[in-house]
Amino acid sequence: MKFLFVLPLLFCLTLLKSQTIQLQFCGKTGTVSPSIDPVTGNDQREKASIRLDWVKIGLINNSKTNPIFNLGDSQTGGIAFANKIIADKCENNTDPVYCSQCINCNAVAASNNAPLGFCSGKLTGNVAVITKNNDLYMMSTNVNNVVCYETHKIDVSSLKGKKIDLSIKYEGISQGWPVHNISLNYRYNNDAYFRTPFFFNKNSNNVGLFEETYSIVASVPVAVEDLSKKLEFNLSPNPVKDELNLKLETFESFDGQISVLDASSKEVYSQSYSFITGNGQTKINTTKLPEGIYILKISDKEGRSSTLKFNKF
C-alpha cells in the first residue's frame, strides 16, 4: 500500500511543476421557467444556454489544423466529452463559487472518464450544466449569475518558451432569453486568472454560432521554480482526520501563503504566513474537509511554490 501511495504523489508533484495552461469559459443566460415543458415533458432549459463545441491549442497558426490539445472535436481525433449531468437542482446551494451543495454536482469528464475540469460560478436556482453529444451546455443561469467551465490543467510543456494560439467554437442559444457576457480567460500553472478576460468578454446579446482564433501573447513558461532553496517541510499524520501538522525547516525568511487544494485544484483553505529562518511548525484544522486526496501548497510572493499531497479520511 505504501508503494502505491508514493506513485500518485510523485506524479502529482511533477504535474504541478510542469508547464500547464488552464482555460475558463464563462457566460450568463436568462432563466427558463418552468424547467420542464408542460406539454412535452422535456427539459427546456437548453432554450437559454451557452454551448461549447470545441477548443484547441497549438503553436501560432496551428491550433485549428494541428493542435497539441483538442477538446470536443472528435471528428479530428479530439477528446470527447462524456454524457453527464455536471450541475443541477441547485436551489439550496449556498456556495457562491461551486456546486458543492447542488443535488447533482460532478466533475467534467471525457468519454473514457479522464478528468476534464469542473464548473464554477454562481450555481443557484434553475441553472444546469450538462455534457452531451460531445458538447458542454451551461443553461438557464439567470441573467445576473456568471457560470463557468474551467478545464483541467493542460500540459503544454512540449511548447515551453514558444508562442501559442487557441481556436474555439461555441454557440449562444436563445428563444427569447438573453445570452451575454460570454468570456474566455486563461492562466499558466497556478497563477491567478487575469482580472478581465484575456481573450474576450462579449457584453452584448451573444446569439448564434461563433468560431474564432486568438493568440496568447505570453509564451509558455520555460520552468516553474519551486521553494526548495528557501525551505523544506513535511506533513503528519498522513492520512489525517482532524488536524494536520506542518513541520518547517526554513533556510531563508520570507512572507508567503499556505494553501490546500482539492482534487479539482479548487482552493479550500488559505492563510498568509511569515516563514522565519530555522525550524517551526503550524497546524491546519481538517475537520470540515470531506474525505479525499488534497495538496498542501506553500508559495512565496514571487510565484515560487512547493507541494505535498495528503489524504483525509
Annotated domain spans of the chain: 20-216, 231-312
Cα–Cα dist 195/185, whole Å: 9
| pLDDT for 76 | 86
According to DSSP, the residues that pair with 187 across neighbouring strands are: 22
Angle at 115 between CA 108 and CA 7, to 5 degrees: 155
Distance between CA atoms of 44 and 145, rounded to whole angstroms?
Answer: 19
Backbone φ/ψ region at 8: left (φ over 0), alpha (ψ -120 to 50), beta = alpha
Please answer whether residues 307 and 296 qualify as being in contact, where contact means their C-beta atoms are separated by less than 8 angstroms: yes
pLDDT value for 193 = 85
* Type of residue numbered 102: C
CATH of 231-312, one of 3.40.50.970, 2.60.40.2550, 3.40.190.10, 3.40.630.30: 2.60.40.2550
Predicted local distance difference test score (pLDDT) of residue 224: 56
The Cα-based distances of 173 to 40, 81, 117, 169, 176 in angstroms read 20, 19, 23, 13, 9
State residue 195's pLDDT score.
74
Q: What is the pLDDT of residue 74?
A: 83
DSSP string, 56-102: EEEETTTTTTS-SEEES-GGGTPBPBP-EEEEE-BTT---SSS-TTS
What is the identity of the amino acid at 153? Answer: K
The DSSP call for residue 175 is S
> The whole model's pTM is what?
0.69
108/127 Cα distance (integer angstroms): 16
Cis check for the bond before 115: say yes or no (omega within 30 of 0): no
Q: Dig out the grid coordinates for 110 from the structure.
A: 471525457
pLDDT score at 75: 85
The set of cell numbers assigned to 279 is 525550524
Cis peptide before 96 (omega within 30 of 0): no
Q: ∠ at Cα 135 (133, 141), nearest 5°?
A: 120
pLDDT for 225 equals 63
CB of 240 closer than 8 Å to CB of 291: no
Q: What is the mean pLDDT of each run of 10 residues along the chain (313 residues)?
A: 33 48 95 93 96 96 94 91 97 91 96 94 96 98 96 87 93 93 90 81 90 86 72 93 94 92 85 93 94 90 83 91
pLDDT at 7: 33
Query: Euclidean distance between the first and final Cα of the chain, in Å?
Result: 16
**What residues contact 189, with CB distance under 8 A and at least 6 apart?**
16, 19, 20, 153, 221, 224
80 with 134: CB under 8 angstroms? Answer: yes
| pLDDT for res 68 | 94
Residue 160 pLDDT:
80
29, 145 contact by CB (below 8 A): no
Q: Which of 139, 48, 125 is nearest to 90 (CA)?
A: 125
Taking residue 297's Cβ as centre, other Cβ atoms within 10 Å add up to 20
Q: Which residues of 212-232 are buried (b: 16+ CB within 10 A; e: fewer)?
A: eeeebeeebbeebebbeebbe
pLDDT at 188: 87
